[in-house]
Structures are given as C-alpha cells and as structure tokens.
Amino acid sequence: MKSTLITLAVIIVIVVVYILINGMRLKKAVTTLTQEDFIKGYRKAQLIDLREAKDFEAGHILGARNIPTTQLRQRHKEIRPDLPVYMYDQNSGRSARAALFLKKRGYHQLYMLDGGFGKWTGKIKYKNK
C-alpha cells in the first residue's frame, strides 16, 4: 500500500512538472492577445487561420489566410519569418502548438488570439459573401 502511494505521488509530481515546463515553453513562444490588442496589430501582420478549410469557409476573420494545423508542417514556408504572425484557431489550443512548431523554425514574432475564433466578435468574412 505504501509503495503504491509513493508511486502515485511520483506520477503526480512528474505530471505537474511537465505541465509547468510546457506552460513556460508556450509563454516564451507566443504572446496571447485580447481581441482588442489582436485587432490593433493584425492588419500589419500575417493573419493565419489554423482551422480546417471547411471551418474557414464557414466564416473567418477578414484578411485571414487558411493554413490548417494539419498542413502546417508542409506549408510553414508560406509564412514569412521576418514579419509578425497573428494566428487563431477555434479556441486557442492549436495556436499554442503551432506557435511552438514555428518558434523552433525561427519565427519570433508570434501572437495568438485569446479564446480563438469562438470568442471573436469582430468582422467576419464568409466564402460566398
């Protein structure tokens, strides 16, 4: 019984350390912006929608380019590393992973929309409108 509790405690400590390390890596890789701050800067940057094409076509932030996270590995060179990159997905989870991926490849000005497209209340462009 005692060894089981010790093993469980070790596992919990490892998980907590892993979460903290990933949080610090993410904080260094990307700056999370409120919608207001995102709006102030995205027009002077590359605006990337990381959602799948069908979601992008159903509605996206005006001026965004669609590069789904599932294609980012093959298409990341379409994004210029010398310009700021503003990115969003549906709720910010994919943006964080995409930022870590891009950071490893030399991109430094990375910004993501807090809460993602799901919380966006600004202008939206629809594919056929």
Over residues 75-113, the pLDDT tens digits come to: 999 999 999 999 999 987 889 889 999 999 999 999 999
pLDDT of 32 above 70: yes
Is 49 strand, coil or helix? strand
Residue 77 lies inside a defined structural domain of this protein:
yes
Residue 52 lies inside a defined structural domain of this protein:
yes
Please report, for the domain that includes residue 75, its CATH number.
Answer: 3.40.250.10
Number of domains in the chain: 1
Residue 111 lies inside a defined structural domain of this protein:
yes
Contacts of residue 84, defined as CB under 8 A and 6 or more positions apart, other chains included, come to 41, 44, 45, 46, 109, 110, 111
Read off the pTM: 0.79
